[in-house]
Structure 1
Amino acid sequence: MLDYGAKKDTSALSTDAFNKAIDACHKNGGGKVVVPAGMYRSGTIYLKSNVNLHFEHGATLYASTDARDFPGASKTFYGSYQDFYGWYALIFAEGASNIAVTGYGVIDGNGSRQYRNAKMFPRGVRDGRPRNLLFIGCNNVTVEGITLTHAGFWNQHYYNCEDVMVNNIKVYNHGRKNNDGLDIDACRRFVLSNSIIDADDDAIVIKSSDTAVSKDITITNCVISSFANAIKCGTESTGGFQNISISNCVIKPSRSHSQPAFNTPRYGITGISLEMVDGGIMNGVSINNIVIEGTDCPLYVRLATRNRKHTPDAPPPPVSRMMNVQLSNILAYNTGNYSSSITGVPGARIRNIYLSNIRIFNRGGVQPGAYIPTLDKVKESENGYPQPTVWGNLPCYGLLVRHVEDIDIVNCTFKSEQPDPRPAVIAGDVDNLVVDGLQTDKANSRKALVMQEVKRSRVR
């Protein structure tokens, strides 16, 4: 890097040096571009095929805070509402193969200092703030060992990529709105492992923002914190999700002492969210061995009909479908009082969902009048943004199930740390409900489980 003019001084801009070194490595058949110890400042760095950008111990890359240093990529082959105002990133690659960002250094997006001229960039979610990493249409991608902090927008966005390995990274993304930790968007064969992620917005998100399916994805052995949703599929679901495995993860409160950007709860909104609202099919999801400390809502599974088009000229998406979902061996404690929920909407049921060995202990202490009194008072909210804040405290303290077909609830426990007047579980408009080994605070089984419009049930 130093041979190409990079300066270990953040008062100097090293964008050209980074890009010249990568270009030379690429033209010579590929290899490793080494960033030695020091502090560097740069605009957009373009990673090319067969190049590993490697950060040595003590190397820190800071994003420039000048909008002119991030020219943005031209419109890509992969279209979605995300590129409405263009793509901006500190490290960017499109259509590249065999690329890597590795090492022991830090990539700091300078997020709290990122800005955009209102005359040049419209305000809002997609106002041109740069991600730390943005890889579009790439294959054979490795990101390992590094620390990524304070992006101007999402920390990392992998969009329509294949064969991606992200391992042993640390993410701390606080300082601006929309500070997701890591977004896996319309990707195939993606492994995220052994990482620590702490985000102001959603921490780990699987999306499908265009017609490509997010498929064959594994997330394992991670420690996750979020002021919003810790692990989330959605909301964008156009291409759908298939074969998703999430296991051996700890969800805990954020260590950030800053005020959440969206005034969300400091413990987070949800631990696990599965959301199908913009078309597409979710088929084959297994979530196993999860510990959740805090969050207002441990489990949120939602099928609805927002049906947002992924591009302005796209046809309206069909109603989503969700099936074959398994949630097992989940312990959640000190959770809020929203309660968990598994809900479709009239005419669109979730099918074949299995819950086993789930233990949820909410804080309780809810007073009469501080929760929705009955199931019929819970708004369908078919077209709204899918989030449990839409409802607040539901009429049960453990689990609400509505518009579902074929659901098993086996060896599950729902209890409150403080007295809670609500029943533990409510099921409404359910076809084929199996409840086996339910443990609650309610001695009277009629208060433990309330069923309305349930066809075919077996309770033991």
Structure 2
Amino acid sequence: MTYKTRIAALTAAALACYGLSTHDATAQEAFSWSNLPKIQQPVFRKDTVRITAFGAVADGHTLNTKAINQAIESCSKKGGGVVLVPAGLWITGPVVMKSNVNLHLHEGSLLLFTTDKSQYAITEGFYEGKAAARNESPISGKDLENVAITGKGIVDGNGDVWRAVNKNQLTEPQWKEKIESGGVLKDDGKVWYPSEQFKRASVDGKSMLLTGGKKPADFADIKDYLRPNLVVFNNCKKVLLEGVTFQNSAAWCLHPLMVQDLTIRNVRVKNPEYAHNGDGMDIESCKNFLIEGCVLDVGDDAICIKSGKDEEGRKRGIPTENGIIRNNIVYQGHGGFVVGSEMSGGARNIFVEQCTFMGTDKGLRFKSVRGRGGVVEKIYARNINMKDIKQEAIFFDLYYFVKFATDGERDMRPVVNEGTPVFKDMVFENIVCNGATKGVFVRGLPEMPVRNIKMENMVLSAETGVELTDADKIAFKNVKLITKHSKPVILADNATNVTIDGLQFNNQAETLISVTGERSQNISIAHTDASKAQKVKEFSKGAQEKSLVIHEGK
């Protein structure tokens, strides 16, 4: 059996693990923009109760935890309605939501969570897709139905008292202010920690995972290290977040987990650039969701799709599916729209449109690694505008956080099992990027290439053009690449069944396409003026000239 035949057989075997075949759905079979998912909205009684009726005081000093939670509890027991937070500065500890309650923050209200960490109990939660001990989230709800946080107020998690920060992430005045605020420094003086307990846990690499029969109470000695996500809804139905500004989270900001019928509309999510794990929204194992009209400026991934991590995520087996993400703006963030890396339960049927990314590290970002498993498929993006992307505009990498050998060679062992991640069947169209390091980067696995991705009607202005490694059935149509460095415009490394139709590129580009790797085959270029390049094609590392066909004519 040849290597290529073996890879094909292993690919088919891996897909069979998920009940899939090597057949690729066409765009017509896969989706229709006119038949988007339907999301049910929560409905509430008009009855309204003010938190002041239960003794809450907006003096920026009084701890209002009891009053706010009593108001929510009372409202829910009476059949639900609106719990109103009037204008003012309200200090509180953890708020626990209840079914049929709309927590409404009036314009001018600031719900500020206390810096007294003793107010947050250690509880069972999740960290990056796995069961873990966490401090109680400032706002949480579990096993609820018909619940909302709305209004024009602000929810502030006071995250700075929870987070460590590196010296190189701050200006000198900011670093000086941080040291003067308390806390402790790492022995080399380059990292600030909130406490000695946090420092010890971080330096010693303590785990917060609930493994080996451990219970949340067993983690009391590292309590300060167990940073809470700001808002967590777990196993709920009909959840609405609308109009509110959520900011300054200790870890992830908004984390709906196993929620059905989720709407996040016109919210603002703000975290410092240096916020470790400062994600904006992590939509995990949710079904039927709408994210629209939101503005995010965060310290990690902005709008992120997740579904559990590794074996634990595969056992849960709940994909994130049937989602609409539209009319959103992302400023700072590690990625504008992101899938992974914790996607072991899979993701599918997600529609992204009319979004703008400005200054993010990456634009459309897909990431995973061997061992994750899961199938990510039927993702569609259109009408996406990007400006000043620091790295790649469109990015796939199945070697997330993998360190390569010093010779640059990747681990080529074609081991295929339930832990092999699958990324396939996607369509990206009408995408414009003004400024990036690389236009398109795709790096699959030799045993499981990134497959069947269609990119059409794009204009990408970047330092370099396109790089494809272990990619199969990648189709470019009507793509314009405006690059500063054009050796080559396109690199195809062990890529198969690549079609390039109607490519425009810089006049006098040094090399149009470089084909490398003995597994590269069936690459074609059509309706492209290849004569504009100083050198049209080159082959190396075992690639054969017959792997590339260039059709004459523009």
Which TM-score band (shorter chain)?
0.7 to 0.9
1:248 and 2:357 correspond: no
Match of 2:151 in 1: 103
Paired with 1:46 and 1:335, the residues of 2 have a C-alpha distance of: 43
Taking only aligned residues, the RMSD between alpha carbons, in angstroms, comes to 2.3
Paired with 2:380 and 2:129, the residues of 1 have a C-alpha distance of: 29
Tell me if structure 2 keeps the 8 A contact 1:208–1:237.
Answer: yes
Q: Deviations over 1:299-321 (max 9, x none)?
A: 101234889xxxxxxxx952011
- Identity score, percent: 26
For these two proteins, the number of residue pairs brought into alignment is: 399
- The DSSP-based 3-state class of the residue aligned with 2:340 is strand
Tell me if structure 1 keeps the 8 A contact 2:425–2:452.
Answer: yes
Match of 2:282 in 1: 183
Tell me if structure 2 keeps the 8 A contact 1:224–1:252.
Answer: yes
Paired with 1:170 and 1:79, the residues of 2 have a C-alpha distance of: 23
Match of 2:397 in 1: 302
Q: Deviations over 1:311-361 (max 9, x none)?
A: xxxxx952011110111111011222x452112121111221101111111
Match of 1:451 in 2: 515
Equivalent residue for 1:279, pick from 370, 373, 376: 373
Match of 2:179 in 1: none
1:214 and 2:262 correspond: no
The AA in structure 2 aligned to 1:185 is: E
Paired with 1:330 and 1:21, the residues of 2 have a C-alpha distance of: 47
Tell me if structure 2 keeps the 8 A contact 1:13–1:41.
Answer: yes
Could you list the runs of 5+ residues in structure 1 that have no partner in the other structure?
254-267, 308-315, 365-396
Equivalent residue for 1:348, pick from 422, 440, 448: 448
- The DSSP-based 3-state class of the residue aligned with 2:53 is helix
The AA in structure 1 aligned to 2:380 is: S
Match of 1:380 in 2: none
Match of 1:360 in 2: 460
Match of 1:193 in 2: 292
Q: 1:352 to 1:344 in 2, by over 3 A?
A: same
Q: Deviations over 1:420-458 (max 9, x none)?
A: 2521111122221111011111546x8112223432233
User: Larger C-alpha radius of gyration, 1 or 2?
Assistant: 2
Match of 1:288 in 2: 382
Match of 1:423 in 2: 488
Match of 1:413 in 2: 480
The AA in structure 1 aligned to 2:465 is: G
Query: 1:41-80, aligned counterparts within 5 Å?
Result: 41-73=91-123, 75=124
Q: Deviations over 1:179-211 (max 9, x none)?
A: 111110111111100111110211111111123
Paired with 2:251 and 2:195, the residues of 1 have a C-alpha distance of: 16
Query: 1:364-403, aligned counterparts within 5 Å?
Result: 364=463, 397-403=464-470
Q: What's the CA shift for 1:222?
A: 0.3
Question: Which shifted more, 343-352 or 52-61?
Answer: 343-352
Tell me if structure 2 keeps the 8 A contact 1:238–1:317.
Answer: no
TM-score calculated relative to the size of structure 2: 0.68
Equivalent residue for 1:40, pick from 72, 90, 99: 90
Query: 1:105-254, aligned counterparts within 5 Å?
Result: 105-114=153-162, 118-119=196-197, 122-123=201-202, 127-174=225-272, 176-209=275-308, 210=313, 211-253=317-359
Q: What's the CA shift for 1:249?
A: 0.3
- The DSSP-based 3-state class of the residue aligned with 1:285 is strand
The AA in structure 2 aligned to 1:190 is: F
Paired with 2:95 and 2:81, the residues of 1 have a C-alpha distance of: 16
The AA in structure 2 aligned to 1:432 is: N
- The DSSP-based 3-state class of the residue aligned with 2:59 is coil
Tell me if structure 1 keeps the 8 A contact 2:305–2:343.
Answer: no
Equivalent residue for 1:319, pick from 420, 423, 426: 420
Q: Deviations over 1:39-90 (max 9, x none)?
A: 10111100011111011111110011111111143x36x8975442235311
Q: Deviations over 1:374-424 (max 9, x none)?
A: xxxxxxxxxxxxxxxxxxxxxxx11111212212111111112xx425211
Paired with 1:420 and 1:79, the residues of 2 have a C-alpha distance of: 41
- The DSSP-based 3-state class of the residue aligned with 2:249 is coil
Paired with 1:250 and 1:323, the residues of 2 have a C-alpha distance of: 24
Q: 1:451 to 1:442 in 2, by over 3 A?
A: farther
Paired with 1:108 and 1:102, the residues of 2 have a C-alpha distance of: 14
Q: 1:201 to 1:251 in 2, by over 3 A?
A: same
Paired with 1:305 and 1:183, the residues of 2 have a C-alpha distance of: 18
Equivalent residue for 1:3, pick from 44, 53, 56: 53
- The DSSP-based 3-state class of the residue aligned with 2:68 is helix
Q: Deviations over 1:235-268 (max 9, x none)?
A: 1011011111111000012xxxxxxxxxxxxxx3
Match of 2:47 in 1: none
Paired with 1:155 and 1:305, the residues of 2 have a C-alpha distance of: 23
- The DSSP-based 3-state class of the residue aligned with 1:25 is helix
Q: 1:82 to 1:114 in 2, by over 3 A?
A: same
Q: 1:86 to 1:231 in 2, by over 3 A?
A: same
Tell me if structure 2 keeps the 8 A contact 1:276–1:282.
Answer: no
TM-score calculated relative to the size of structure 1: 0.82
The AA in structure 2 aligned to 1:41 is: I
- The DSSP-based 3-state class of the residue aligned with 2:61 is coil
Paired with 2:152 and 2:101, the residues of 1 have a C-alpha distance of: 17
Query: 1:13-24, aligned counterparts within 5 Å?
Result: 13-24=63-74
Q: What's the CA shift for 1:271?
A: 1.1
Paired with 2:118 and 2:329, the residues of 1 have a C-alpha distance of: 36
Paired with 1:122 and 1:62, the residues of 2 have a C-alpha distance of: 27
Q: What's the CA shift for 1:176?
A: 3.1
Paired with 2:388 and 2:128, the residues of 1 have a C-alpha distance of: 34
Question: Which shifted more, 103-112 or 450-459?
Answer: 450-459
Q: What's the CA shift for 1:131?
A: 2.3
The AA in structure 2 aligned to 1:328 is: E
Paired with 1:118 and 1:81, the residues of 2 have a C-alpha distance of: 27
- The DSSP-based 3-state class of the residue aligned with 1:270 is coil
Paired with 1:170 and 1:81, the residues of 2 have a C-alpha distance of: 24
The AA in structure 2 aligned to 1:137 is: N
The AA in structure 2 aligned to 1:221 is: N
| Greater percentage in helix | 2
Q: 1:456 to 1:317 in 2, by over 3 A?
A: closer
Question: Which shifted more, 30-39 or 421-430?
Answer: 421-430
Paired with 2:444 and 2:486, the residues of 1 have a C-alpha distance of: 26
Paired with 1:227 and 1:142, the residues of 2 have a C-alpha distance of: 24
